[in-house]
Chain A
Amino acid sequence: GENVEQHPSTLSVQEGDSAVIKCTYSDSASNYFPWYKQELGKGPQLIIDIRSNVGEKKDQRIAVTLNKTAKHFSLHITETQPEDSAVYFCAASKSSGGSNYKLTFGKGTLLTVNP
């Protein structure tokens, strides 16, 4: 089955700096890669996603890049703010072979943005 590795497990940055979180996946058939943000006591919330026919996607201060050849994808947050502090999860899935968008998640990155 799919295996998703996520690094780093913790990341501390100064307000205004950029943060980058990286993930690798094992199943070359995976074609959908979302990122979720989880605040304390809440469920994960989708913040951005990318499909395998696209190399990069941006939404204001966040962007995701995908390298299908290397089987890795990254989340980039620019101009970080204290409210960006949370646990971020990457995930991968494929929509063929009966998997029906069943997501496999990385172990998460605790991002702390220091004022």
Chain B
Amino acid sequence: GAGVSQSPSNKVTEKGKDVELRCDPISGHTALYWYRQRLGQGLEFLIYFQGNSAPDKSGLPSDRFSAERTGESVSTLTIQRTQQEDSAVYLCASRGRAYGYTFGSGTRLTVV
């Protein structure tokens, strides 16, 4: 597609439930990133995929967080047993050969 697509745009979930967030990158972009943005804060790196290489998971805050990506296609970020501190906007970005990222509009997650 023309841009990075994320779904859902908003998600409200109860504490303790699992959630799955989806990212459709720009076609042909080999690199895909997930970032977390808490209210009024900067962007916090979570995980990075580059083609078929092993992902860089160094930013995942706990083992409740995981992400998958098959090849250069869709990625899903899964948060298990959600906690209130997981409430944030989760942003996905993809990158082709150029340096710059293209971000999606994000998924706003609210844990109640």
- Residues of A bordering B, CB below 8 Å: 6, 32, 34, 36, 41-46, 49, 51, 89, 91, 98, 100-108
Taking a contact as CB atoms under 8 Å apart, the answer to whether B56 and A102 are in contact is yes
In the complex, what distance in Å separates the CA atom of A49 from the CA atom of B98?
Answer: 11
Cβ B99 vs Cβ A49 within 8 A: yes
Q: How far is the CA of A56 from the CA of B50 in the complex (A)?
A: 30
Q: How far is the CA of A34 from the CA of B95 in the complex (A)?
A: 13
Chain B residues within an 8 Å CB radius of A98: 56
User: In the complex, what distance in Å separates the CA atom of A49 from the CA atom of B93?
Assistant: 16
Count chain B residues whose beta carbon lies closer than 8 angstroms to a beta carbon of A: 22
Closest to B6 in A: A43
Query: Taking chain B's interface residues, is the majority helix, strand, or loop, or is none over half, making it mixed?
Result: strand
A101 to B105, CA, bound (A): 21
Partner of B42, one of A51, A101, A107: A107
Q: Is the CB of A106 within 8 A of B42?
A: yes
Task: For residue B17, give the distance in angstroms from its CB to the closest CB of chain A.
Answer: 25
28 A–B contacts from the bound complex (CB under 8 Å): A6-B42, A34-B99, A34-B100, A41-B105, A42-B105, A43-B91, A43-B105, A44-B43, A44-B101, A45-B103, A46-B100, A49-B99, A49-B100, A89-B42, A89-B43, A100-B48, A100-B50, A100-B56, A101-B95, A102-B33, A102-B56, A103-B45, A104-B45, A105-B35, A105-B42, A105-B43, A106-B42, A108-B42
